[in-house]
Amino acid sequence: MTTKTGHDLERVAELFHALADPTRLGIIERLRGGEQCVCDLTDMLETGQSRLSFHLKTLKEAGLLRDRRQGRWIYYSLEPGAIAEIESAVAAIKPRSTGDRRRGVVTPPFLPTRIKRLI
């Protein structure tokens, strides 16, 4: 078993924090199909530009998104390396068994289905 350093654990917490919001998960879900203009994301998510900008900034600071400017618009896409980090973090915490039979305790699933579909 690999021991995580404090830095590794902080990084995993940063990634999970960035994913811990329904709007941010919606952004990630829409970007799974490829790059999107911020104007299209605003329409798809039916949200205001300032609220969307806050969530995009959070995801970008966590390293989950890339952006590029084309004219007056900014286009966002998923950062594949960050998605691989999430997969690795989930694999590292996955229980080896479904419960502790000695005490009759069953381990609940760690992540909601919506997050599991992203990775």
CATH number, domain containing residue 86? 1.10.10.10
Work out the percent of the chain whose per-residue pLDDT is above 70.
75
Q: How confident is the model at residue 20 (pLDDT cuts 50, 70, 90)?
A: very high
Residue 64 forms part of a structural domain: yes
pLDDT for 66 equals 96
Q: Which domain holds residue 72?
A: 6-118
Query: Each residue of 59-117: pLDDT tens digit?
Result: 999 999 999 999 999 999 999 999 899 988 888 887 776 555 555 544 445 555 555 55
| Residue 1 located in a structural domain | no
Strand partners, 68: 75
pLDDT confidence bin for 17, thresholds 50/70/90: very high
Nearest by Cα to 30 from 16, 42, 14: 42
Is residue 52 included in any domain, yes or no? yes
Report how many domains make up the chain: 1
Single pTM value for the model: 0.71
